[in-house]
């Protein structure tokens, strides 16, 4: 039926300060090829904020015939898992498919940096390869552990690193504060020989967790706290999801990240604003080693923070662990897997995050902007179908038992040449319970006693009788169908003020429909003292709906507009043949009101 058009024209090439820097570097001949990277830590699922970084890094590579490496900065094995590696790889490939997948940089499976000589000096480099081989895999910082260890030995020999025996608590105390300078560790003056011996014994597993660390020797009085002899290595006797149990010392992110960029030949290391203060350390590590090739440079941009969403992996994990949601891919989550499961397309995500722009100032992005992009995308993509979420039965008394009247319904009025399908009008049909009022309010134009409405694509009906059970609950509505108002009949143009949707009671299917709403009741849940207290208690409603029978053949890639209701897609996890589950991606228009 419907398939996402990943070949749709991309938004006009964006302009921003980072792209200006890249253009100036190319014009000046500083680089022959642009190489960027997207380097997540595999300790959670990617969210909408990551999508901005993915589209920026891959977008720059795409615009300059360059490469963007997918690299896992996996230096903290206690919090990382293969589940996250797999989910991140899937999410990245989904988001860039048909747009920038030709720029995706992988490496030969199991490969490590190759030794080479640059101007007579030893060097190491790991080039990317074109994806398309089963022998290719993403980059992993853990594949550089041996080379990172060698670089650490070199820093020790240069007198720029030392082994420290302070506990974690004492290390923090000695560090001082932004208002107060730190003080030197009592182990800062160890000799090169002693430091080499201790560091090698650290690697050999001789010491317990936390007993020793390797620190850079910079300046304990530096105004920038990140330059106060930061940790480079710590002891962690724990197996690694990718490297196995070969290591019991692991490099810190700030040390491994810049050197991973160097080993891959990254030209522009692009990250978010919280790393501005880390940049001097990034440069210090690279410059201290006097490496033979051109050094990468770090540039920072603002985060994407949409309203009514949380984009902290720590807080998202709390939602999962506290069973507020069903998992990382719950359709209410801002994760890429959650958005995909909800029915939002990669095209819509890209258009939203690219349109948000690249600046140096963090700011809240109105969620209405994202919702507008999603509706605009689905309005073009989704085929129209009829469905009733909360059915009430109507009996059309002047249609005989077993009689079927075929009506023509439009599949998608947005198509250049719209097509139609046949739908069945039968004696019994379902309408939305909200489309009937026994005691209607003023200016109510839907079905009411002695009132008329049009059944879309069929004709006009009049309510003659309301049938109730012993408790007074309405069980069915008995109506008369005006056959002269059928399409092609003389009265088809007769005007009534209300038009409602419907499905045949006998030629429709039952399906579970999940109606998702915003997960939080306030626009900035991350700013709350306890964000769990502003979870929307009505963020999910589950109903058993009646749907047009053609939806029995729905596929995961299909997108539907249930007319007058919203946009829907099959649930990728729980839906199965004969037991269909549809998710509401988004309503037809914004009718949000905070839930109490």
Q: What does DSSP say about strands 67-72 and 35-38: parallel, antiparallel, or unpaired?
A: parallel
Q: Which residue has the tokens 């050094």?
A: 295
DSSP assignments along 501-522, one per residue: --EESSSEEEEEEEEE--SBSS
Distances (CA, A) of 400 to 425, 427, 465, 480: 11, 6, 18, 12
Sheet bearing 249-251, strands edge to edge: 161-164, 213-216, 231-235, 249-251
- φ, ψ at 550 (rounded to 5°): -65, -20
Measured distance CA(394)–CA(386) in Å, rounded: 16
Residue 204, class by beta-carbon neighbours within 10 Å (0-12 exposed, 13-18 middle, 19+ buried)?
Answer: exposed
Establish whether 272 is an annotated binding residue.
yes
Measured distance CA(89)–CA(86) in Å, rounded: 5
Establish whether 50 is an annotated binding residue.
yes
Establish whether 42 is an annotated binding residue.
yes
Establish whether 312 is an annotated binding residue.
yes
Residue 223, class by beta-carbon neighbours within 10 Å (0-12 exposed, 13-18 middle, 19+ buried)?
Answer: exposed
Establish whether 278 is an annotated binding residue.
no
Chain Cα centroid distance, residue 466:
48
Q: Which residue has the tokens 């801002």?
A: 334
Establish whether 53 is an annotated binding residue.
yes
Q: Which two tokens stand for residue 155?
A: 């820093």
List beta partners, residue 272: 301
Helix (H, G, I), strand (E, B) or coil at 477: strand
Establish whether 52 is an annotated binding residue.
yes
Measured distance CA(241)–CA(238) in Å, rounded: 10
| Measured CA angle at 518 (ends 515, 520), to 5 deg | 140
Measured distance CA(481)–CA(472) in Å, rounded: 26
| The length of the chain, given as a count of residues | 596
Establish whether 539 is an annotated binding residue.
no
Measured distance CA(36)–CA(39) in Å, rounded: 10
Establish whether 343 is an annotated binding residue.
no
Helix (H, G, I), strand (E, B) or coil at 285: helix
Buried/exposed 160-181: b ≥16 CB within 10 Å, e otherwise: bbbbbebeeeebeebbbeeeee
Establish whether 433 is an annotated binding residue.
no
Measured distance CA(504)–CA(100) in Å, rounded: 45
Q: Which residues, other chains included, contact 193 with Cβ-Cβ below 8 Å and sequence gap of 6+? A: none
CA dihedral 323, 326, 331, 335 (to 10 degrees): 70
Establish whether 303 is an annotated binding residue.
no
DSSP assignments along 212-276, one per residue: -EEEE-S-TT-SSGGGSS-EEEEE----BTTTBTS-SEEE-HHHHHHHHHHHTT-SEEEEEGGGG
> Where do the H-state alpha helices sit in 126-167?
145-157
Establish whether 283 is an annotated binding residue.
no
> Where do the H-state alpha helices sit in 11-67?
17-27, 48-63
Provide the annotated binding site.
Answer: 41-43, 47-53, 73, 253, 272, 311-313
Provide the annotated binding site for L-glutamine.
Answer: 73, 253
Provide the annotated binding site for ATP.
Answer: 41-43, 47-53, 272, 311-313
């Amino acid at each position: 039926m419907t398939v996402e058009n990943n070949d749709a024209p991309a938004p006009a090439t964006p302009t921003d300060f980072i792209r200006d820097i890249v253009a100036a570097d190319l014009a000046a001949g500083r680089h022959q090829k642009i190489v960027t990277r997207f380097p997540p830590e595999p300790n959670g699922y990617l969210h909408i904020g990551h999508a901005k970084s993915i589209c920026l890094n891959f977008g720059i590579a795409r615009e300059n015939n360059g490469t963007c490496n997918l690299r896992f900065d996996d230096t903290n094995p206690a919090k990382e898992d293969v589940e996250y590696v797999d989910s991140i790889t899937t999410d990245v490939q989904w988001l860039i498919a048909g747009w920038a997948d030709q720029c995706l940089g992988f490496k030969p499976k199991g490969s490590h940096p190759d030794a080479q000589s640059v101007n007579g000096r030893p060097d190491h480099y790991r080039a990317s390869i074109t994806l398309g081989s089963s022998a290719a895999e993403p980059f992993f910082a853990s594949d550089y552990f041996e080379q990172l260890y060698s670089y650490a030995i070199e820093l020790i020999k240069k007198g720029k690193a030392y082994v420290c025996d302070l506990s974690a608590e004492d290390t923090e105390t000695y560090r001082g504060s932004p208002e107060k300078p730190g003080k030197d560790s009592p182990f800062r003056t160890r000799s090169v020989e002693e430091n080499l011996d201790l560091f090698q014994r650290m690697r050999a597993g001789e010491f317990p967790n936390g007993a020793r660390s390797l620190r850079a020797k910079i300046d304990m009085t530096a105004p920038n706290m990140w330059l106060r002899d930061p940790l480079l290595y710590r002891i962690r006797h724990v197996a690694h999801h990718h490297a196995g149990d070969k290591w019991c010392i692991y490099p810190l992110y700030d040390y491994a990240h810049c050197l991973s960029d160097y080993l891959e030949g990254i030209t522009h290391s692009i990250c978010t604003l919280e790393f501005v203060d880390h940049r001097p350390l990034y440069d210090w590590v690279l410059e201290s080693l006097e490496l033979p090739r051109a050094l990468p440079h770090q540039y920072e941009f603002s985060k994407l923070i949409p309203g009514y969403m949380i984009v902290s992996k720590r807080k998202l994990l709390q939602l999962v662990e506290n069973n507020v949601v069903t998992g990382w891919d719950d359709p209410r989550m801002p994760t890429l897997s959650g958005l995909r499961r909800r029915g939002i397309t990669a095209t819509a995500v890209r258009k939203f995050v690219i349109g948000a722009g690249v600046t140096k100032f963090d700011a809240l992005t109105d969620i209405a902007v994202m919702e507008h992009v999603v509706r605009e995308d689905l309005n073009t993509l989704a085929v129209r179908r009829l469905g009733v979420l909360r059915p009430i039965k109507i009996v059309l008394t002047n249609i005989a038992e077993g009689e079927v009247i075929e009506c023509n319904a439009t599949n998608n009025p947005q198509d250049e040449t719209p097509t139609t399908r046949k739908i069945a009008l039968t004696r019994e049909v379902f309408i939305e319970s909200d489309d009937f009022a026994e005691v209607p309010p003023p200016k109510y134009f839907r079905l009411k006693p002695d009132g008329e409405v049009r059944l879309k694509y069929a004709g006009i009906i009049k309510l003659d009788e309301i049938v109730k059970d012993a408790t007074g609950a309405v069980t069915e509505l008995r109506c008369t169908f005006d056959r002269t108002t059928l399409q092609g009949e003389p009265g088809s143009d007769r005007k009534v003020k209300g038009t409602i949707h419907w499905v045949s009671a006998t030629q429709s299917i039952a399906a579970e429909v999940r109606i998702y709403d915003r997960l939080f009741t306030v626009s900035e849940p991350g700013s709350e003292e306890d964000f769990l207290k502003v979870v929307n208690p009505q963020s999910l409603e589950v109903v058993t709906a009646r749907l047009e029978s053609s939806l029995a053949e729905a596929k995961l890639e299909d997108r539907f507009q249930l007319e007058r209701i919203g946009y829907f897609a099959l649930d990728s996890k729980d839906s199965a043949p004969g037991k269909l589950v549809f998710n509401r991606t988004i309503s037809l228009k914004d009718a949000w009101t905070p839930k109490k």
